[in-house]
Amino acid sequence: MIRKFANRFSSYRSSGDPFADIGISFATAFLAIIFYSFYRQRFGFSITVLSPTVTGVYWQFLLLFLILGLALFFFFCVILRRSDLLDLILLVGSVAVSVLVAGFSPQSFAFCLVLFLLMGMLLNFYFVHRNRSLLTFSKTTAWLVGALTLIYVLSVIALAFLKHWSFFSYDLDLGYFDQVFYSMTQSFKPVYTIMGRPINHFQNNHFSPLLYLLLPGYLLFPSAEYLIVIQAIFVGLAVIPLYQLCTAYRLEKKVILLICAAFLLQPGIIGGQLYDFHENALLPFFLFGLLYFLTVRNRTGIFLSLVLTLLIKEDAVLYTIAIGLFELLRPGGSKKTAVWMIVISAVYFMLVSNLILNTAFFHNRYENLIDSGAGGSYLDIVKILFTNPLYLFTQSFTADKVLFLGLIFLPLALIPLAGLCHLSEISLFLPMVAINLLPSWWPQYSIDYQYNFGTIPLLVLICIRFLASLRKPPVRVMLAALMTVSALIFSVSFHIEKYDYVIRYREHQTELQAMALALEKIPADASVSAASHMVPHLSGRDEIYTFGVKNDTDFVLLDLRSNGVYVGDTYQGEIFYLSAIEALLENQGYGVADYFESWFVLLQKDTSGPLDEEVKNFLQYRIRKLRGEFDG
């Protein structure tokens, strides 16, 4: 037995790499200790607090580390002669540990950056230095991409549903769009009343005629949930043209799988889907389609994709013009196609902005650049560019915006920055500058809102082109894997807190059921004023208003959860909000139709009931408490 083992070890020494294998064995053993540290938290031993009980037995952990490291080395490398399996265990284990660390470090850019660097070194070691490979599944890649995308879409829908059913979706914009679709089913006009009067969405907010494409589904399933589902489905469908685009650049199947996963896992893509519904979510599908048809020179496909992209919303011209410039400047690009793309986009925007939509509505989002007076226009930005360009620089790269750039570029393994070395690809950064960096309105440079659905596909194109230009396949796989892993790390860290929707839904079933029953007491033809989180549950009607905009309605549904729960922007502070509710009961003829303490109150006009005094007392107590009358 001993002689046989000695012969195996002698044979291993002649053909193996002992130093590297021993290092990997002990690194894997160290991972086991890290996993145990996470497991130990179940028994009250936090990873962020030193415990004398644990550190006092350090020698046991050291002994375990040495024994486990040697055991892994001899078992995998000497006996089985499968050091590749040990490498794979280390890689998978490291990814799992990185995700756990990110999950236990919410909103931690510093931790994510360190994890990104560590995973970059490990992936380079695995794919390039050790020349390892992923499993071969060329014939099943498309099916695997489809299966993973389906799981992803269902997961996003489930989390978004729980957010909505826990009454944490918003009047702006889920309630807003739900009423727009409801109005289109009644009169074919995209009208909403949340702001206090009937307003046409196409004329006063965004010109988005492509919404009619989604209308048949809403006719079958008229609800806010339908909008959540169709949004997630369109993001998932974007993988189809993305897959074709990667194929057109002749990337390996495993690289295509990793790129598709990296796109879906981008923090800006996940965050946008979990913030209500927006037409921006349609952009990736049509932009990837446009890029694919440009690559294969399919003029019919280019034209259809261009038109459909422009119909999503008026500022989609920024993306189509940027793609047109890219096609114009890239070697081998079709100049003729590029010119008519740019011309059609520019003419379309001028027609929409002058004949249909008042684009001055959005000047306030660039209040640091555009004069708020009557003479202000987007031309002011051009004036500043040529008269004080450094001012634009200071406004575009504030601390918050630099953090935003980190959350966009690091989950793409910094690869898009290589596009700055190519004139044609620099044009693909222009929409990011215009939509994400120049505005002073903070949601436009946040990964939690919808303003990244157009930016990220253009950056993914740069990644595809860069990977396709690399001559060494292991480097391509390594960088694609780093994109996927880093996207997963950043998304977990910056979106893990959204798991609270699951916890809240489980823990407050009684209260949520009571709120659902209160909704049933409101007739479908009644006018309603409601707090922000209540609006999306009542928006499929002719008249729905955010509370404070218009309160003189048949019913008023108010949110009493407090503790920082958003109720709308109308009232500056909770005291004013609660005082307005009290005034409805005291002076304006409203009575309590339903009530759940510290959760909600439903008021009905021209009624009174036994709960009126109880609610008044609750409101008065809450107001006095907020004023500090019970302190000390």
Over residues 24-38, the pLDDT tens digits come to 999 999 999 999 999
User: For a pLDDT cut of 90, what percent of the chain falls above it?
Assistant: 79
Residue 600 in tokens: 């909600």
Reported confidence tier of residue 18, pLDDT bands at 50, 70, 90: confident
Reported confidence tier of residue 10, pLDDT bands at 50, 70, 90: low
What residue type is assigned to position 60 of the chain?
Answer: Q
Which pLDDT belongs to residue 360? Answer: 67
Nearest to 327 by CA among 304, 293, 282: 293
Higher pLDDT, 172 or 9: 172
Over residues 328-371, the pLDDT tens digits come to 999 999 999 999 999 999 999 999 988 888 776 667 788 888 76
Query: Does the pLDDT at position 444 exceed 90?
Result: yes
Give the pTM. Answer: 0.94
Which pLDDT belongs to residue 16? Answer: 67
Which pLDDT belongs to residue 577? Answer: 92
Which pLDDT belongs to residue 385? Answer: 86
Residue 318 in tokens: 């920024």
Which pLDDT belongs to residue 542? Answer: 96
Lowest mean pLDDT among 61-70, 425-434, 560-569: 560-569
Which pLDDT belongs to residue 373? Answer: 56
**Which alpha helices (DSSP H) does 447-472 contain, by range?**
455-469
Query: Does the pLDDT at position 612 exceed 90?
Result: yes
Distance of CA 620 to the CA centre of its chain: 40
Residues 6+ apart with CB under 8 A from 621: none
Which pLDDT belongs to residue 473? Answer: 93
Reported confidence tier of residue 229, pLDDT bands at 50, 70, 90: very high
User: For a pLDDT cut of 70, what percent of the chain falls above it?
Assistant: 95
Query: Does the pLDDT at position 515 exceed 90?
Result: yes
Over residues 272-300, the pLDDT tens digits come to 999 999 999 999 999 999 999 999 999 99
Reported confidence tier of residue 381, pLDDT bands at 50, 70, 90: confident
Which pLDDT belongs to residue 41? Answer: 85
Reported confidence tier of residue 7, pLDDT bands at 50, 70, 90: low
d(CA 382, CA 366): 13
CA atoms within 13 A on the CB side of 75: 11
Which pLDDT belongs to residue 172? Answer: 87
Which pLDDT belongs to residue 568? Answer: 73
Over residues 567-605, the pLDDT tens digits come to 777 787 889 999 999 999 998 899 999 999 999 999 999
Nearest to 586 by CA among 611, 612, 550, 553: 612
Which pLDDT belongs to residue 467? Answer: 98
Radius of gyration of the chain from its Cα atoms, rounded to whole angstroms: 28
Over residues 132-181, the pLDDT tens digits come to 987 666 678 889 999 999 999 999 999 999 999 999 999 988 999 999 99
Nearest to 123 by CA among 475, 464, 467, 411: 475
Query: Does the pLDDT at position 47 exceed 60?
Result: yes
Residue 175 DSSP code: I
Which pLDDT belongs to residue 375? Answer: 58
Per the CB < 8 A criterion, the answer to whether 383 and 426 are in contact is: no
Mean pLDDT, the chain, integer = 92
Reported confidence tier of residue 452, pLDDT bands at 50, 70, 90: very high
Over residues 73-119, the pLDDT tens digits come to 999 988 888 899 999 999 999 999 999 999 999 999 999 999 999 99
Which pLDDT belongs to residue 128? Answer: 94
Query: Does the pLDDT at position 11 exceed 70?
Result: no
**In whole angstroms, how far apart are CA 137 and each of 336, 473, 503, 522?**
40, 16, 38, 55
Residue 134 DSSP code: P
Between strands 590-596 and 528-530, the pairing is unpaired
Query: Does the pLDDT at position 469 exceed 90?
Result: yes
Per the CB < 8 A criterion, the answer to whether 231 and 453 are in contact is: no
Mutual orientation of helices 612-626 and 574-587 as an angle, nearest 10°?
150
Per the CB < 8 A criterion, the answer to whether 601 and 579 are in contact is: no
Over residues 255-273, the pLDDT tens digits come to 999 999 999 999 999 999 9
